[in-house]
Structure 1
């Protein structure tokens, strides 16, 4: 399986990071997790391209996770790819319908399958998924995703404060992509800092693979080493910062 970070930024652009978007590719299918601003351009630079995505899976509906969704749909229509599955937390189907209702010329041009994820387990685009509600300012899901044909598991936190149960949700994942929006000296809720994340990871009864930090606000620029040192005071696992364009082969943990 291949994982590509398309966007590792946040709701405050830096000019160097697109907003949230991650591409997961198995031998059979391609799944886009979140579709924030800048993700469409990043997707166009991959071999899969926006035409090759089989489904979009949303963690939640904040703008920095969905703002390229309607432009993705138009680009696919112009490329002759009108079929797409879009899944996410309850309300996802209504969100997509509302987005498309704004653009009269898009009516009737797409063959969409819209799915509200309402059970702990689900399947989408050749992946078996599990979800866990996170601690955020709106309903948000973390996901475990494993190719249906077999292979390694990737876990993604979505937006969330750090907490032990979320780290345990990622038990056995080869890669765990986790929100780490701010350094320790920023007083924040709904997102973690390195110390709070490190404590949650250390407290968890979980076998975690490599952890990648993402959803990075401008406050983190120039402070990555400091943040990693702070996290390492609590947790001694393999933790790295994600970067836009970073693409890696994910092996079994």
Structure 2
């Protein structure tokens, strides 16, 4: 399984980071997780391109995670793609219906399927096995843990990759991600910034102390983190996390 970071940024734009978006690839399958502003351009530079990604999985509905949904629908229509599935938490259908009410000429241009999921039951998205866990954020949403397509007998809750979505750091999230080869976790601000709904490096490191996670990838980075990335990684380790710590950048590719 390969992870490509399409967007490692946040709602506050910076030149080198698109908003939230991640591409998962395995066994010829492709899954887009979140679709913020700038993600469509990044996706166009990948091997699948937007023509080759027919499923989008949303962590939640904040604008920096969904802003490029309609541009993706239009791009796929113009490219001759016939189908797109959008999967996400409760309210995803209302979100997409509302967007299409504003741009109604796109309604019916492609076969659009909407599927709402819950944390109560594992599910499949683009062939990937997925387990969900509720986050702690200003909007209801999910973190997801993934098993690759064709991983017969693998419980998604034991999959090698976890994406936190937007969330505070807390013990339940650490337990959900424990055992992952890679955890991509919201770390929006450096220490010293007064913030809620997102963690800083120290609170994140404290919450993950004692977990068996191979690599922690810090993402969803606000402009406040610029120039302080190494400091943030050191702070996570100093707070008790024992695995590798890296800072996400757009275009980063990781084999899992």
TM-score with structure 1 setting the length: 0.95
The match for 1:200 is: 207
CA distance in 1: counterparts of 2:230 and 2:247, whole angstroms:
10
CA distance in 1: counterparts of 2:107 and 2:186, whole angstroms:
36
CA distance in 1: counterparts of 2:117 and 2:214, whole angstroms:
26
Asked if the contact 2:27/2:149 (under 8 Å) is kept, the reply is no
CA distance in 2: counterparts of 1:185 and 1:12, whole angstroms:
19
Asked if the contact 2:2/2:254 (under 8 Å) is kept, the reply is yes
The match for 1:169 is: 176
The match for 1:42 is: 42
Q: Over the residues paired in the alignment, what is the CA RMSD in angstroms? A: 1.2
For residues 117-145 of structure 1, give each alpha carbon's deviation from its aligned partner in whole angstroms, at most 9, with x where no partner exists. 12331111101110000100010100001
State how many pairs are aligned: 248
The match for 2:149 is: 148
Per the TM alignment, residue 98 of structure 1 is displaced from its structure 2 partner at its CA by 1.2
The match for 1:223 is: 228
CA distance in 2: counterparts of 1:11 and 1:73, whole angstroms:
21
* 1:68-217 pair list within 5 angstroms: 68-118=68-118, 119-150=120-151, 153-202=160-209, 204=210, 206-217=211-222
The match for 2:242 is: 236
Asked if the contact 1:228/1:239 (under 8 Å) is kept, the reply is yes
What's the secondary structure of 2:235's corresponding residue?
A: helix
Asked if the contact 1:120/1:132 (under 8 Å) is kept, the reply is no
Which structure 2 segments of 5+ residues have no match? none
Which structure 1 segments of 5+ residues have no match? none
